Amino acid sequence: MRSEDIAKLAGVSRSTVSRVINNYPNVPAATRDKVLKVIEQHHYEPNSFARALAGKSTDTIGLFAISMNENADASRIYQNSYFAPIVDLVVDTANAQGFYVLIHTIYSPGDFQKVKQAFLQKRIDGGILVGTQKDINFVSDMVGHGAPLVLIDYDITEIIAERLDKNHLSIINSRDYEGTVEAIEYLIKLGHREIGIIKGRMSTFSGRERYLAYESTMMKHGLPILDNFVLAGDFLKESAYREVLNLLHSGKLPTALFCSNDAMAVSAMEALMEHGVHVPDDISIVGFDDALLASHVSPKLTTVRLPIDDMSKAAVEKIIELCQSGQSAFSTASFPTRLVVRDSCKTPAI
C-alpha cells in the first residue's frame, strides 16, 4: 500500500494525500476526512525511508554508549549501574516524544566507525554520546559534519580547547565535584581525619573530578593525603577488591574510605568484611552514584546520588531541540548531586 493507492481510493492526487499526512493547512476539512478515512481503513503508514529521502526528518535519535576498557566482560555494559538507567530513561523520554532510538555500543575504536556511519548514512537526526573515553577527534568529526550531538559527562574545557564549531553541540554534566566535597565534608564532620580514596578511571571526566574534589577538600581542612590511602581504581569492582586487599596487607587502614563509585564501594566492603574489618564500626565507607545495589547491601551504603534521571531527560530534550531548530547556540547544563546518608558511616572509634 503506497500513497498512490490511497490517492486513487480517495479520488485525489498523491500530493493531496501527502498534504493530509503532513498536516498542511491548505486542505479543506472534507477532503482531509475523506483521505484520512481511506488511510485508516487500510492501516496505511508512509514508508519512512521515502519520507526521509524526500527531506523529512527520521524521527530517530542515536544513543551511543562507549565502554572501551571494560575488558573481559565488556558485554555487561547495560547491567552497569551507570549505563542501564541512562539507556532506560533516554529510550522512554524519546519514545514519549515520538522518537525512536537507535542504539549502538562502542567497545573498540573500530566501533566509532559504525557510529559515524549512523550519522553519515542519515539513519538518525542526532545522537547522544555517553560513557568515558569520548575521543575528542571523534567528537570533532561529528561536529564538523554539522550533526547535532549531545555529550553526557564531558569535560567542557576540552571542547573549548579544540575550538570546535559548537553550534550543534550540547553538554550535560553532573556536579561530581560538589558531590564529592559534600561526601568528604560529611566524613570530616563525623570526626574522620584519615580518609582514603579509591580513585576512578582518571582518563574520565568524573574520575578526575571526584579525585580532585577529594584532594582539595582534604587540603582545605588541613588533613593529610597519605599515599597508601590513595588507591588506584577504574570504576570496576575487581580493581577495588584488589586494592583493598593490598591495603589490608599493609596493616594500616584509614578510618574512612571514599570510593569513586558504588560498584567499587560494595566490592571494598566485601573485601573488608571478609577480613574481619567491620563497616561502619571499624571503617566508614561512602560510595558514589547511588546505584540500585547501594540500598540493598548490608550495611546499606551511604553514597552520592547521581542525577541520572535529570541528565538523561535533559539530553533527550536537548537533542530533539537541536534536531528541530536546525541551529542553536552551544549549551551546557550541569545537574546537582545529593548525599544519601545510610548506614555505612559513623564516628570513628578512638
Partner DNA sequence: CTGAAAGCGCTTACAG
43 binds, among DNA, a copy of itself, none (CB under 5 to 8 A by kind): a copy of itself
Q: Which of residues 46-105 bind DNA (CB under 7 A)?
A: 46-47, 50-51, 53-56
Q: Give 225 or 292: the residue with its C-beta nearer to a copy of itself.
A: 292
The yes or no reply on residue 118 touching a copy of itself (CB under 8 A) is yes
The yes or no reply on residue 149 touching a copy of itself (CB under 8 A) is no
Q: Give 13 or 246: the residue with its C-beta nearer to DNA.
A: 13
The yes or no reply on residue 46 touching a copy of itself (CB under 8 A) is yes
CA–CA dist 200, 211 (Å, integer): 8
The yes or no reply on residue 91 touching a copy of itself (CB under 8 A) is yes
The yes or no reply on residue 313 touching DNA (CB under 7 A) is no
The yes or no reply on residue 244 touching DNA (CB under 7 A) is no
Q: Give 32 or 300: the residue with its C-beta nearer to DNA.
A: 32
The yes or no reply on residue 8 touching DNA (CB under 7 A) is no
Of positions 14, 123, 208, 338, contacts a copy of itself by CB under 8 A: 123
Q: Which of residues 238-297 bind a copy of itself (CB under 8 A)?
A: 266, 292-293, 296-297
Q: Which of residues 160-199 bind a copy of itself (CB under 8 A)?
A: none
Q: Which residues are at the interface with a copy of itself (CB under 8 A)? A: 43-50, 52-53, 58, 60, 75-79, 84-85, 87-89, 91-92, 95, 100-105, 111, 114, 116-118, 120-123, 266, 292-293, 296-298
